[in-house]
Chains A and B, each alone.
Chain A
Amino acid sequence: MSGSFDFAFIFYGIMNAAFAIAVSPLFMGIIKKTKALSQGRKGPPVFQQYYNIAKLLKKESVYSGNSSRIMSAAPMLNIAALLTAALFVPLFFIPPQTDLAGNIILFLYLLALAKFFMALSGLDAGSAFGGMGSSREMSLSAVIEPVTIIVFAGLAFVLKTSNIIEMFRQAAFGFGVLSVDAALFPILIALFIVLIAETARVPVDNPETHLELTMIHEAMILEQSGKNLCLMELSHAIKQTLLMAIIINIFAPFGIAMHLGAAAIIAAMAAFLAKGAFLSIAVGIFESSFAKLRLFRLPNYFMIAFFLALLTILFEVFV
């Protein structure tokens, strides 16, 4: 086994995952609150997501008579895949150089692993809603995949590494990655579009509705209940935090800790919390200012991100 499997790494792994679990529902709550306020509603409290988790844990699980073991295994696999992926995206502390974690392709495919089993659980109960959700989710994720890969290929092209942790390390000096190369700006927009698509938000999906014509992600987990639903929602929130962390730590890494030290770590956590809250508000405002796009218009929308990312790379290639 290669790489540094030492105390700093283990500490980083546990802290990072725990921090991701702890803050993810908060960001969800902030987005919900922002949307409610911008629509002129009072909205649920910012901490409502935590209450939801506590409530769901106490509830009984209801399984459909049609469903199989996939139904209860999928939420566990989801959270396991997302927590493993959390090892790949440092939120507040950049661990010493390692090749155990951080590979960008592996990170993306851990997300795909979670998605694969979530889609299977959508089909498991034999409900038309679940099937529709799985079908749409897999279709859209197929279309967004080249975009995501090209975005990261662009970053890898400029930063000469395909490891997220190393990307963060390079970005941590100065004003993020833009001080390395200002031409990376289009990548920011592309990453934002990927974030919106992957976290099932307007204009791609509508997380608020349970109307069969519009929902994608919610339809897939419609048959989940109790602790299984809790795990699904938590892993969805963690996924959002990880993707947000990639944007934050590449474009605005201010305050991120590079060494182990109580003061630096606490400051870095606070900084991440503040930046995450700011990005959540931005996402909330973005969501409120768009209408949901028709399903078959979405590939065009993703193409914007694709061309922005490709533009960056072509700029790097030819200039």
Chain B
Amino acid sequence: MDVWPFYVGLVSLLLAAIFPLFGFGLKERAARSLRNFSVLLAALGCAALVFFASKAIYFNESLFISAYKILPVLEFSFFIDRLSSFFILVISIVAFCVSIYSADYIEHGKHSKRKNMLASVMMLFILSMILVVSSANTFSFLFFWELMSISSFFLVMFEYEKKETGKAGMFYFIMTQLSTVFLIFAFIILYYSAGTFDIVSYGTVPSAAGSFGAMPAGAINPALASLAFISLFLGFGTKAGVVPFHKWLPYAHPASPSNISALMSGVMIKVAIYGLMRFVLFVFAPELWWGVMILIAGIISAILGIIYALKEHDIKRFLAYSSIENVGIILTGFGLSVIFSKYGLSGLATMSLIASLFHTINHAIFKSLLFLTAGSVVHSTETRDIEEMGGLIKKMPYTALFFLIGAVSISALPPFNGFVSELMIFQALFQSGVLESPLMEVLLLASLSIFALMSALAAACFVKAFGITFLAAPRSHEAKNAKEAPRFMLLGPALLSALCIALGIFSFQIFSLLGYSFPIPNMLFTGSVLIITYALAAGAMRFLASDRARIGETWGCGILSQNSKMEYTASGFSEPITTIFSSIYKTQKHVSRNYFDSKKSVFKDGEAGIRLMKFFEEYIYMPIGNAVGKLSYMVSEGLRGDLDIQILLGFSAIIALIIALGWFA
């Protein structure tokens, strides 16, 4: 396999990350040309990577690169097989379109230095994600994983002077480091039981790296393997935004610039999915309960993600919750695949796994599309609250069209791409009858009904998002004066929209090209029939119906002055669903009354309010945080100022470690 496109991609991205830094001392004009050059380089690099990855996927090749040895056991080495190249493809496609979008988007900032910093760190972020998914050993995996986490933390903190950004950044930083802690723990277990950092040689998959003292999967002690799996699941789950570790998403996404949200939601959380798949499928021999656990976590994330999304009016936070839902869908497919393969149903297992991977790329594409177009909307209306938008389809027709394509795709409507991957998961769930265990069948049926509910709620959610944002009359002065986004901010989303359609319509052909055949309908046929019937209907109407039309007023029961305040609002729209699912949204009512007299008979004034309780934050995150805080306070209180005691403690820790190592080795 030709490796040069891979190197070209990496070097261009690296240069793209370095160049803007030279602009710090320069005038705005020069700094700007450096930024533009960096964006161009990044786009070229991503294009090279797209070429490289699609070739690697098509020919199903793998390759091993040993790059740099730090110590005999610690080295940077890369291994690329079909799974890695698939994720390289996902990252580079999205990064390509986001780079194009960024050419105009970055320029909206005020400080020249900061804009260069944004361009530079963004390219570093993309580069580190590519290197994570191509890492061949746990050491380089962790190194680039941390690089990815820290660069994304800087990007979240871009508008650091805002108060909410500070909170979001802190939240994100803690969660992401927590995830790394779990990963380190799992990697130590793996090293301990297999004696190598090499990811590929943990598994049974024969590879170019097989000469490094390979150890078959069975060699890892099952109890230790389960422990490592749980730790990995917690680590990757935190990064991917699986409920209940999802709370960083709705904080970090609104705070960061929109192109960064698109990258984080579109691809960074997929890197965690990659990690989970890589380790579960290639390193361990998964057990049945792992699959059940992944499936249940996926289903719960999917349904809770969308139910919380319904309540949101902040367009970017809403999209963040929807990402949680989609990660849930991806995990549902993956969990099903593990379950089916445990029952020896390899055909169904492959279909579920491919469904999960297909949804990964689909979600990467339509979610980045939605975040980018939302970014254009937020930029031109200067608010993230959809209640203050409205009527934007007339002011920003192209942005509206692209957002609509994204919304239709994410709502899983045929013939777009989101539908095909959900259809495959539905097909897999429909096959529950072939499983021998009644308990599993019931689990799959329960998942099926929740999955259907989730899918329909997503459609309701995006009717609301598109309808309230883009349709009807403008609800604010800013919305009335909104302007269409500049050309590069349209070109990026345009490419992504085209991909949404192409991946949906040609799904069947793509799968057969890659050598998979699944019992799924041919979308090319359905899509053509839809277009033909649409054309026929339009033709028939032109021929049969009167073409007289006039502009009238919206029916308002004869009211004289209709204004945008009389339109249906976003909260009104989601009210029926929030009432039906009121037990999930825990609300707290508080009423306080003041009286004129002491016997409380003459009412003076009072106030009442309903507050949506943040269940996970108030019942899980805060208690844990408080407990940790209390513990560290106790420890620091007890040891304050006594240097000798601290040295003694450090010394005893080292002694204990040595004894423990001697014990286990």
Contacts and interface: CB of A to CB of B under 8 A. Distances in A.
A80 B463 contact: no
Interface stretch (B146-154, B366-374, B528-536, B640-648): B528-536
Interface stretch (A40-48, A141-149, A181-189, A246-254): A141-149
B471 A139 contact: no
Interface size class of A (residues with CB under 8 A): 35 or more
Contact of A295 (B394, B453, B467, B576): B576
A63 B551 CA distance: 5
A67 B433 CA distance: 48
Considering residues B426, B442, B457, B466, which has the most beta carbons from chain A within 10 angstroms of its beta carbon?
B426
B411 interface: yes
A127 B568 CA distance: 7
Given A116-B411, A128-B566, A135 B555 contact: no
A99 to B, nearest CB: 7
Given A150-B445, A153-B445, A138 B391 contact: no
A299 B580 contact: yes
B529 A57 contact: no
Interface of B is mostly: helix
Contacts of A138: 459-460, 463-464, 577
A90 interface: no
Given A68-B394, A153-B445, A120 B580 contact: no
B467 A76 contact: no
A31 interface: no
A182 B589 CA distance: 51
Contact of B459 (A57, A84, A112, A129): A112
Contacts of A316: 433
A296 interface: yes
Interface string B525-548: 110011101100110010011101
A113 B445 contact: no
A156 B545 CA distance: 42
B520 interface: yes
Contact of A296 (B464, B520, B580): B580
Interface in B568-611: 568, 572-577, 579-580
Interface string B449-480: 11111011101101110111011110000000
B110 to A, nearest CB: 34
Interface centre among B390, B519, B549, B554 (most CB of A within 10 A): B554
Interface string A64-99: 111111100000110111011001000000000001
Interface stretch (B12-20, B134-142, B160-168, B412-420): B412-420
A64 B553 contact: yes
A257 interface: no
A278 to B, nearest CB: 29
A119 B555 CA distance: 17
B383 interface: no
Interface in A101-133: 101, 103, 105-106, 109-110, 112-113, 115-116, 119-120, 122-132
Contact of A123 (B438, B457, B468, B534): B468
Given A128-B568, A131-B572, A223 B445 contact: no
Contacts of A130: 568
Interface stretch (A171-179, A198-206, A224-232): A224-232
Contacts of B550: 60-63
B317 to A, nearest CB: 20
Contact of B525 (A62, A100, A295): A100
Given A83-B533, A106-B423, A128-B567, A66 B472 contact: yes
Contacts of B199: none
Given A106-B521, A143-B580, A148 B413 contact: no
Contact of A65 (B390, B445, B453, B553): B553
A202 to B, nearest CB: 19
B552 interface: yes
Contacts of A101: 521, 525-526
Contacts of B433: 156-157, 160, 316-317
B553 A116 contact: no
A310 B450 CA distance: 13
Contacts of A115: 459
Contacts of B438: 317-318
A213 interface: no
B549 A145 contact: no
B311 to A, nearest CB: 13
B442 A314 contact: yes
B599 to A, nearest CB: 39
Given A65-B553, A120-B467, A146-B449, A226 B533 contact: no
A120 B466 contact: yes
A259 interface: no
A317 B456 contact: no
B556 interface: yes
Contacts of B573: 131, 134-135
A269 interface: no
Given A101-B521, A132-B568, A153-B430, A58 B546 contact: yes
A123 B390 CA distance: 10
A317 B441 contact: yes
Interface string B332-362: 0000000000000000000000000000000
Contact of A119 (B463, B473, B530): B463
B552 A64 contact: yes
Contacts of A28: none
Interface of A: 1-3, 13, 17, 57-70, 76-77, 79-81, 83-84, 87, 99-101, 103, 105-106, 109-110, 112-113, 115-116, 119-120, 122-132, 134-136, 138-146, 148-150, 153, 156-157, 160, 162, 222-223, 226-227, 230-231, 295-296, 299, 306, 310, 313-314, 316-318
30 contacts: A1-B524, A57-B546, A58-B545, A60-B549, A61-B550, A62-B552, A66-B472, A66-B473, A76-B537, A84-B526, A84-B529, A87-B529, A99-B521, A101-B526, A106-B423, A109-B412, A113-B408, A119-B463, A120-B466, A120-B471, A124-B471, A126-B471, A126-B564, A139-B576, A142-B453, A142-B459, A143-B580, A146-B449, A223-B554, A317-B433
